[in-house]
């Protein structure tokens, strides 16, 4: 099954992406692969916050952030009420229709 998400970059430009859900990918891997400024320094272990995103739509459909992600989010200066680490968001049907703003490079 494919899903559709909208990604907004730092210039407020948006791109609609069609993503497969059968590859066990995390949102971080997709964004990095598409050239967004995701460093993923920790390799997706929720230890660096270089994959910080804001979920503008669809936040309520995502699984709750776990303690390790919440601890890392607490260190981010530009934290929002809907901030998440893209490395902790699986590309699955829960992400369908989401609107994601990439904030990662603001942390670097």
Tell me whether strands 99-102 and 14-20 are parallel, antiparallel or unpaired: unpaired
E strand or H helix at 33, and its extent? helix 27-33
Give the whole-number percent of the chain exceeding pLDDT 90.
89
Q: Which among 41, 45, 20 has a CA at the least distance from the CA of 32? A: 41
Q: How confident is the model at residue 19 (pLDDT cuts 50, 70, 90)?
A: very high
Residue spans per domain, the chain = 2-107
pLDDT at 34 over 80: yes
> Structure tokens of 41?
């320094």
Query: What mean pLDDT is reported for the chain?
Result: 93
- 3-state percent helix, strand, coil for the chain, nearest multiple of 5: 25, 25, 50
Cα(35)–Cα(1) distance, integer angstroms: 24
The architecture that CATH gives domain 2-107 is Roll (3.10)
């Amino acid at each position: 099954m494919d899903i559709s998400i909208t990604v907004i970059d730092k210039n407020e430009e948006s791109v609609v992406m069609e993503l497969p859900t059968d590859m066990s990918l995390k949102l971080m891997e997709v964004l990095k692969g598409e050239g967004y400024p995701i460093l993923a320094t920790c390799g997706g272990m929720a230890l660096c916050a270089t994959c910080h995103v804001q979920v503008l739509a669809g936040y309520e459909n995502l699984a709750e952030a776990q303690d390790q992600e919440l601890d890392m989010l607490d260190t981010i200066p530009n934290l929002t009420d809907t901030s998440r680490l893209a490395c902790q968001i699986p590309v699955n049907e829960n992400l369908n229709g989401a609107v994601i703003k990439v904030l990662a490079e603001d942390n670097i």
